[in-house]
Amino acid sequence: MIRMRAGDNVAIIANDRGLPAGARIADGPTLLDTIPQGHKVALCDIPEGGAVVRYGVVIGHATKPLPAGSWVYEAVMRMPPAPSLDDLPICTAPAPALEPLTGYTFEGYRNADGSVGTRNILAIAMTVQCVAGVADIALDRIRRELLPRYPNVDGVVALHHGYGCGVAIDAPGASIPVKTLRHIAQNPNFGGEAMLVSLGCEKLQPERLMPDRFKDRGETHPDLVRLQDERHVGFGSMIDDILAMAETHLERLNQRRRETCPASDLVVGVQCGGSDAFSGATANPAVGHAADLLVRAGATIMFSEVTEVRDGIDQLTARAATPEVAQDLIREMAWYDDYLARGQADRSANTTPGNKRGGLSNIVEKAMGSIVKSGSTPIRGVVPPGERAQGKGLLYAATPAGDFVCGTLQLAAGMNVHIFTTGRGTPYGLAEVPVIKVATRSDLARRWHDLMDVDAGRIATGEASIEDLGQELFEQILAVASGRKTWAEHWGIVNDLVLFNPGPVT
What are 124-162's pLDDT values in tens digits? 999 999 999 999 999 999 999 999 999 999 999 999 999
3-state helix, strand, coil in the chain (%, to 5): 35, 20, 45
Spell out the residues 6+ positions from residue 12 whose beta carbon is closer than 8 angstroms to its own. 1, 2, 38, 39, 40, 41, 277, 278, 281, 359
Which strand ranges, in their side-by-side order, compose the sheet holding 116-117?
116-117, 105-110, 259-262
> Is residue 362 predicted with pLDDT exceeding 80?
yes
> Is residue 97 predicted with pLDDT exceeding 90?
no
> Is residue 218 predicted with pLDDT exceeding 80?
no
- CA 370 to CA 361: how far, in whole Å? 14
Q: What's the average model confidence in pLDDT over 196-214?
A: 94
Spell out the residues 6+ positions from residue 236 whose beta carbon is closer than 8 angstroms to its own. none
Confidence of residue 216 (pLDDT cuts 50, 70, 90): low
List, for residues 373-431, the tens digit of each pLDDT value. 999 999 999 999 999 999 999 999 999 999 999 999 999 999 999 999 999 999 999 99
Annotate 109-127 with DSSP letters as a single string: EE-TTS-EESS-EEEEEES
Annotate 351-374 with DSSP letters as a single string: --HHHHHTT--SHHHHHHHHHGGG
In CATH, 1-81 is 2.30.130.110? yes
- pLDDT at res. 155: 97
Annotate 159-227 with DSSP letters as a single string: ---S-SSSB-TTSGGGHHHHHHHHHHHT-GGGTT--EEEE-SSSSS-HHHH-HHHHTT--S--TTEEET
**Taking each helix axis from N to C terminus, what angle separates 403-413 and 175-185, rounded to the nearest 10 degrees?**
60
List, for residues 259-304, the tens digit of each pLDDT value. 999 999 999 999 999 999 999 999 999 999 999 999 999 999 999 9
**Taking each helix axis from N to C terminus, what angle separates 283-296 and 466-481, rounded to the nearest 10 degrees?**
60
In CATH, 107-254 is 3.90.1200? no
> Is residue 217 predicted with pLDDT exceeding 60?
no
> Is residue 219 predicted with pLDDT exceeding 80?
no
Q: What's the average model confidence in pLDDT over 475-498?
A: 97
- pLDDT at res. 212: 86
> Is residue 472 predicted with pLDDT exceeding 60?
yes
- pLDDT at res. 107: 98
Calculate what percentage of the chain has a pLDDT beyond 90: 93
Domain-wise residue ranges, the chain: 1-81, 107-254, 269-491
- pLDDT at res. 214: 83
Report the chain's mean pLDDT, rounded to a whole number: 96
Spell out the residues 6+ positions from residue 221 whose beta carbon is closer than 8 angstroms to its own. 206, 213, 214
